[in-house]
Amino acid sequence: MSTVQMLVAQKMALERRIEQARQEEVERQRRLEAERLAVQQAEIAQIRMSLQNLMKKYNLTEDQLLRGQEEIFKIKKTKLNEVPGKGLSLQEMRMFYAKMQ
């Protein structure tokens, strides 16, 4: 085998190794991405389960959980709570405070 033929054979062998290394790297990146996605999906599933447990425990809807505490406990406007004391007669207030004592 001449020197030129030997160099050409070595060049082809190196090119095959480089291509094989590229394919292995692509496969490695795919595996890493798949593992990362699996971890994310597991975290999402765990969070969903926690939310469902909270919803059952406190009898809340998903919307109430996502809006937060302020919305859940917000006092709705009614005729009686628009103005403090308005709507209650003096007699009703006296009876209320008498029952408290």
Given its phi and psi angles, is residue 23 left (phi above 0), alpha (psi -120 to 50 degrees) or beta? alpha
Q: What is the mean pLDDT of residues 9-36?
A: 97
Q: What is the pTM of this model?
A: 0.50
pLDDT of residue 32: 97
Q: State yes or no: pLDDT of 62 exceeds 70.
A: yes
Q: Mention every residue, 6+ apart, whose C-beta is less than 8 A from residue 62.
A: 51, 55
Tokens of 4: 């030129």
CA distance 26 to 34: 12
